[in-house]
Amino acid sequence: MKILNFGSLNIDRVYNVSQFVSEGETILAKSLKIFPGGKGLNQSIAAARAGASVIHAGAVGPEVEFLVGFLRSNNVNVENIKRTNEETGHAVIQVNSSGQNSIIVYGGANQLLDDAYIEHILNCGETGDIVLLQNETNSIGKIIRAAHDHGLYIVFNPSPFPRNMENIPIELVDCFMVNEIEGATLAGLSLPIQQELILDSLIKQYPNSSFVLTLGSKGAIYRSNAECCKHNAFGVQAVDTTAAGDTFCGYFLAGLCSKKKTIFQCLQEASAAAAIAVSRAAAAPSIPTYSEVHSFLLSQEHNMEIFE
């Protein structure tokens, strides 16, 4: 079982600041660092470092080797990445003194996935393989319909949340990976609201789907019609939260791919990986290896909790 990740490939420009810039304000950054990034790239790296077989589907411009080489060095299959003359996607990321982030993303080449390319990638999969989607590339609706026709398991992380959700056949999605804001928006609810009510509403609207609701320092919850499982977050000092959600997503799906782990074990490893990631600077470089996650869990067993 493998993951076909239709994901963004970005160059991250990370500015460390005392506080986020406000409207009309000019501030001085403490430092600038440039890293490989994009939600798609981060999730591919996380899944691969967790041991999954990952094919990355995406597009880049002239800056090919900086991103493609990084994926290749982390055992991600990059044979099908599309080369274009469009500028590679990039992100401007502010990280404040508390480790929180504010991000502007320019799509660039990420928006150039065409029908022929989508079909070519899907033909690399077999029935039951996972198709992973975020919302930093184009043609999300087309990919979901085509992946469903191919008998693939569709996972959608609607981030940033689509403005045109009515054009996306979300009833065909098998699993949603959402944070609290995305979950509430998908359910048609407004925050603040109890997490259980968000999930109740989502299951009622999409009874054939499962949901992984990430809650930051409050942990994560898995919910389907057949199962409900929660894992508390691990307490760590946050340095940079940029890749936390992507790390969680990649590790959780790698756990599903193994077919040997329970949902709780998938949540457990994903939570541990995210905790390690937020304790480090930058996005993709902060994602831990599986051996690091295993060692971390050995020292954190008392933090585990499950809810039936």
* Burial of 260: CB neighbours in 10 Å, binned 0-12, 13-18, 19+: exposed
Flag whether 260 is in a domain.
Answer: yes
CB 37 within 8 A of CB 284: yes
| Structure confidence at residue 151 (pLDDT) | 97
- Residue 21 counted as domain residue: no
The predicted pLDDT at position 240 comes to 84
- Total domains in the chain come to 1
- Domain span at residue 273? 2-8+38-81+111-303
Q: Where are the beta strands (DSSP E) in the chain?
A: 2-6, 10-16, 31-37, 53-57, 59-60, 82-83, 89-95, 101-106, 130-133, 153-156, 175-179, 210-214, 220-223, 228-231
Domain harbouring 159, CATH code: 3.40.1190.20
What whole-number distance in Å separates Cα of residue 217 and Cα of residue 232?
Answer: 8
Domain assignment present for residue 99? The answer is no
CB 298 within 8 A of CB 304: no
Give mean pLDDT, residues 230-255: 92
Q: CA angle 167-243-84, nearest 5°?
A: 60
Q: Angle at the Cα of 84 (from 82 to 89), degrees rounded to 5? A: 90
Residue 307 clears pLDDT 70, i.e. is over it: no
What is the spatial distance between Cα 44 and Cα 130, in angstroms, rounded to a whole number?
A: 12
Computed over every residue of the chain, the mean pLDDT equals: 93
Q: What percentage of residues in the chain have a pLDDT greater than 70? A: 97
- Checking if the pLDDT of 306 tops 50, the result is no
SS3 content of the chain, % helix, strand, coil (to 5): 40, 20, 40
Q: Is residue 16 part of a domain?
A: no
91-96: average pLDDT: 91
pTM for this prediction:
0.91
Q: How distant, in Å, are the alpha carbons of 14, 37, 273, 285 from that of 31?
A: 8, 18, 26, 17
Please report whether residue 276 resides in a domain: yes
pLDDT band at 282 (very low <50, low <70, confident <90, very high): confident
Chain mean position to CA 5: 10
Mean pLDDT value of segment 70-94: 95
In a domain, 162, yes or no: yes
Ordered DSSP codes for 96-109: -TTS-EEEEEE-GG
- 24 belongs to a structural domain: no
- pLDDT of residue 259 exceeding 90, the answer is no
Q: What is the pLDDT of residues 25-69, one digit of tens each?
A: 999 999 999 989 999 999 999 999 999 999 999 999 986 688 999
β-pairing, 53-57 vs 210-214, is unpaired
Distance CA 190, CA 183 (A): 10
Gyration radius of the chain over CA positions: 18
Q: Calculate mean pLDDT across residues 14-33.
A: 95
pLDDT of 100 reads 87
pLDDT on residue 78: 97
Q: What is the tens place of the pLDDT at every residue in 112-152?
A: 999 999 999 999 999 999 999 999 999 999 999 999 999 99
13-34 mean pLDDT: 95
Helix axes 195-205, 180-187, angle to 10 degrees: 40
Phi, psi of 32 (to 5 degrees): -130, 130
Structure tokens at 300: 């954190």
Distance CA 175, CA 154 (A): 6
User: Per-residue confidence at 242, pLDDT binned at 50, 70, 90?
Assistant: confident
How does residue 305 score in pLDDT terms, banded at 50, 70 and 90?
very low
Q: Using one digit for the tens of pLDDT, what is the confidence trace for 142-200? A: 999 999 999 999 999 999 999 888 899 999 999 999 999 999 999 999 988 999 999 99
104 within domain boundaries? no
